[in-house]
């Protein structure tokens, strides 16, 4: 069916035309649903994304909007229209994550009932077309994949590339202007503009790197032969291929030879000077600064594949073996790509690349730039913050490289602790820093949610923040976008006073009662409330202790904590601790698919689109079949991105495995 639907191309145009004679959705119910802001949840990244009821883009043509309206027949009970979910959910007659969107008895409800009545009268042909539209849209069929965008080297990739190209260990990109987070990562093409300051940084770095490369002679063995005219040509060809990660064309070869000649009139004594000028020029060229991710030139396609593999799996340029595989055409087949993918994963460079991914996905920057009230939290220091990031790296690395169940990320009853973290967690420090240490029975810690990184990063300087913790879970672990608060809304909580001591839950009651706040805040706060047994640095507490006054007049108030929480939109998600929430997430298909989405977004350099739905679901299926081995997720995603025709395979098997691998 999937391939048949894809072959229809603009299927929804025909669907919209079929219903054109009847009442129109676009002029009736559609604007009511838009005013009710149903779209904010019912989109691919919304809290209701798992319902697969996704509003068309706001600029969608009328025919597509009409076809979407008729596809809502899936929510209609044709025998008992008054029991239809399409009526009962938006009016909150049954539990609805979004709450009441249409007031019962209102004129808007009358329009809704009229549309339901229309849907109950669809003919069999119309009903079939409506349901096929749902499947068509659900699989992203007919959606166009975004055009490939030019991606520059990230600062991390720049540092690693000059290290492997020139032997430079100075991390010159640390002096460049900082990169912005877009879609949760620093490497997204949409955020990779070239500012004048960055261009200036590239120029200065190229000059320094070229000088250093030949300081004291050819100490890094960049010159492959004895200086001569022939050697000049060979040097430019071989170094250029490494620097640009592809062969130079004839015009480039000629230009760099001319530049070399002008800089080195004496081919014997000035050879290194000419080579230095060429290196400096190449390091400022778009051929070096930008990745060869896509190309219309069939001769360069193998080199583009090599670039994608290297920068995705190693965060640096291809090595000699990967270059050789590209030159021999070995990357044109799934077996060849899988062989190289598994080889790259087995190399220490892959560990370095994973660490970079984890540091961005889990937003280490937020913790490393945060501050805590030293009077309340004397255990939190700069060393403690660094230790929290190192624990997360050690924890995730163990799961990935030892082929453990990656969803243990949320359920592990242990941490990787050093002296600083042992004091926060109340455990005995191991003999070796960041060795595995079991959490004490009754600690209610588990996985990332019980570690200091998450708990301290999602907190304020003086107190925990249920909203920040819930938002992080939604965005990073469920891949759901919670709309920003309306402009002008006061987000400050009422102050805690001695006359009225309150827990965070009590102070945030307005979030639940104010209609402007309630819809979004219950998506976040109800998650964060279940984590309130842990304070702003991740230390456990059984009650909230508030202190007022100082000296002899100091008064302490202890308040009982209500840590009941839930994840709206996730079935059976009640919990009251990080350990219980971890169990909910680990078995949630939304969370499992989010693990795929996040890695896809990072390696693709963009957010996922409807055109990527089939790929992401296929990779998620392979991920589950592998017992959630992250390396298999990487292999599956790599192969399906390189050979998208394999997505439609109905064999039910994952990627073809090279002999000798399991």
- Is the pLDDT score of 482 beyond 90? no
- Which of 291, 318, 336 is the last residue before a domain boundary? 291
- Is the pLDDT score of 128 beyond 80? yes
User: Strand locations in 295-386, DSSP E?
Assistant: none
Least-confidence region, from 62-71, 143-152, 231-240, 445-454? 143-152
Backbone φ, ψ for residue 556 (5° rounding) = -115, 135
**Domain co-membership, 129 together with 273:** no
Domain that holds residue 56: 2-138
Residue keyed to tokens 């919304």: 46
**Domain co-membership, 347 together with 334:** yes
The span from the CA of 126 to the CA of 119, in Å, is: 9
**Domain co-membership, 276 together with 413:** no
pLDDT of residue 652: 41
Confidence of residue 3 (pLDDT cuts 50, 70, 90): very low
**Domain co-membership, 401 together with 514:** yes
Nearest residue to 372 via CA among 452, 451, 463:
463
Query: How many structural domains comprise the chain?
Result: 4
> What's the pLDDT tens digit per position in 166-188?
999 999 999 999 999 999 999 99
Kindly tell me the burial class for residue 87, based on how many C-beta atoms sit within 10 Å of its own C-beta (0-12, 13-18, 19 or more): buried
Does residue 560 form part of some domain? yes
The span from the CA of 532 to the CA of 411, in Å, is: 18
pLDDT of residue 67: 86
The span from the CA of 120 to the CA of 23, in Å, is: 13
pLDDT of residue 518: 67
- Which of 291, 316, 343 is the last residue before a domain boundary? 291
Distances in Å between the Cα of 202 and the Cα atoms of 181, 384, 639 are 21, 34, 34
Distances in Å between the Cα of 470 and the Cα atoms of 451, 480, 549, 578 are 15, 11, 32, 12
Instruction: Tally Cβ neighbours within 10 Å of residue 37.
Output: 14
pLDDT of residue 354: 98
Mean local confidence (pLDDT), 195-209: 97
**Pairing assessment for the beta strands 543-548 and 414-417 based on DSSP bridges:** unpaired
**Domain co-membership, 390 together with 314:** no
Least-confidence region, from 95-99, 363-367, 620-624? 95-99
Which is more confident, 41 or 394? 394
Residue keyed to tokens 């100091």: 554
**Domain co-membership, 385 together with 444:** yes
- Is the pLDDT score of 463 beyond 60? yes
Mean pLDDT in the chain? 90
Query: How many contiguous H segments (helices) and E segments (strands) does the chain have?
Result: 29, 4
> What's the pLDDT tens digit per position in 230-267?
999 999 999 999 999 999 999 999 999 999 999 988 76
Nearest residue to 603 via CA among 281, 207, 45, 154:
154
Its sign, for the CA torsion 206, 212, 215, 217, is: negative
- Is the pLDDT score of 659 beyond 70? no
Least-confidence region, from 211-220, 548-557, 589-598? 548-557
Does residue 347 form part of some domain? yes
> What's the pLDDT tens digit per position in 408-442?
999 999 999 999 999 999 999 999 999 999 999 99
**Cβ(620)–Cβ(303) below 8 Å:** no
pLDDT of residue 50: 75
What six digits make up the tokens of 524? 């976040």
> What's the pLDDT tens digit per position in 496-525?
888 889 999 998 886 676 766 767 788 899
Instruction: Tally Cβ neighbours within 10 Å of residue 428.
Output: 10
**Domain co-membership, 567 together with 600:** no
**Cβ(501)–Cβ(461) below 8 Å:** no
């Amino acid at each position: 069916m999937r391939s048949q639907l894809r072959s229809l191309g603009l299927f929804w145009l025909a669907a919209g035309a079929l219903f054109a004679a009847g009442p129109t959705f676009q002029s009736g119910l559609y604007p009511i649903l838009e005013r009710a802001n149903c779209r904010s949840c019912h989109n691919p990244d919304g809290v209701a994304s798992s319902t697969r009821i996704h509003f068309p883009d706001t600029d969608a043509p009328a025919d597509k909007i009409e076809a979407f309206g008729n596809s809502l027949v899936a929510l209609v009970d044709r025998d008992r229209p008054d029991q239809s979910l399409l009526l009962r959910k938006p009016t909150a007659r049954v539990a609805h994550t979004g709450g009441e969107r249409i007031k019962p008895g209102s004129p808007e409800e009358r329009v809704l009932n009229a549309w339901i009545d229309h849907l109950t009268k669809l003919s069999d042909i119309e009903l079939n077309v409506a349901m096929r539209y749902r499947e068509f849209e659900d699989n992203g069929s007919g959606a166009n994949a975004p055009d490939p965008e030019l991606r520059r080297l990230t600062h991390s990739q720049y540092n690693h590339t000059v290290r492997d190209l020139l032997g430079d260990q100075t991390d010159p990109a640390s002096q460049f202007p900082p990169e912005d987070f877009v879609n949760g990562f620093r490497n997204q093409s949409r955020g990779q503009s070239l500012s004048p300051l960055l261009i200036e940084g590239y120029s200065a770095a190229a000059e320094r790197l070229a000088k250093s490369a030949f300081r004291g002679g050819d100490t890094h063995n960049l010159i492959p032969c004895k200086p001569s005219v022939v050697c000049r040509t060979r040097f430019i060809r071989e170094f250029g291929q490494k620097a640009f990660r592809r062969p130079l064309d004839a015009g480039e070869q000629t230009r760099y030879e001319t530049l070399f000649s002008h800089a080195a009139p004496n081919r014997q004594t000035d050879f290194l000077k000419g080579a230095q000028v060429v290196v400096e020029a190449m390091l400022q060229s778009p051929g070096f600064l930008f990745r060869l991710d896509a190309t219309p030139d069939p001769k360069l396609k193998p080199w583009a594949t090599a670039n994608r593999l290297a920068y995705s799996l190693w965060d640096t340029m291809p090595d000699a073996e990967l270059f050789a595989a590209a030159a021999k055409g070995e990357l044109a087949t799934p077996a060849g790509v899988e062989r190289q993918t598994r080889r790259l994963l087995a190399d220490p460079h892959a560990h370095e690349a994973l660490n970079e991914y984890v540091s961005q996905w889990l937003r280490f920057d937020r913790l490393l730039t945060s501050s805590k009230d030293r009077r309340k939290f004397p255990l939190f220091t700069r060393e403690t913050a660094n230790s929290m990031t190192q624990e997360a790296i050690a924890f995730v690395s163990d799961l990935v490289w030892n082929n453990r169940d990656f969803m243990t990320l949320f359920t592990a009853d242990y941490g990787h602790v050093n002296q600083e973290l042992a004091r926060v967690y109340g455990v005995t420090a191991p003999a070796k820093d960041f060795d595995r240490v079991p959490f004490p029975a009754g600690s209610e810690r588990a996985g990332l949610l019980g570690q200091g990184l998450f708990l301290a990063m999602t907190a304020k300087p003086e107190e925990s923040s249920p909203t920040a913790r819930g938002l992080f879970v939604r965005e990073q672990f469920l891949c759901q976008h919670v709309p920003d608060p309306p402009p002008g809304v006061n987000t400050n909580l009422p102050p805690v006073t001695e006359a009225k001591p309150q827990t965070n839950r009590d102070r945030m009651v307005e979030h639940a009662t104010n209609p402007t706040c309630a819809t979004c805040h219950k998506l976040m706060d109800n998650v964060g409330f279940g984590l309130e047994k842990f304070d702003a640095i991740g230390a456990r507490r059984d009650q909230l202790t508030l202190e007022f006054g100082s000296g002899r007049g100091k008064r302490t108030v202890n308040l009982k904590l209500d840590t009941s929480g839930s994840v709206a939109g996730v079935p059976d998600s009640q919990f009251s601790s990080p350990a219980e929430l971890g169990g909910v997430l680990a078995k949630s298909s939304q969370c499992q698919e989010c693990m795929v989405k996040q890695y896809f977004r990072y390696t693709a350099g963009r957010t996922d689109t409807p055109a990527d739905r089939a790929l992401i679901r296929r990779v998620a299926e392979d991920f589950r079949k592998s017992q959630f081995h992250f390396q298999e997720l990487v292999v599956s995603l790599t192969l399906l991105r390189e050979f998208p025709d394999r997505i439609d395979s109905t064999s039910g098997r994952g990627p073809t495995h090279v002999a000798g691998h399991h």
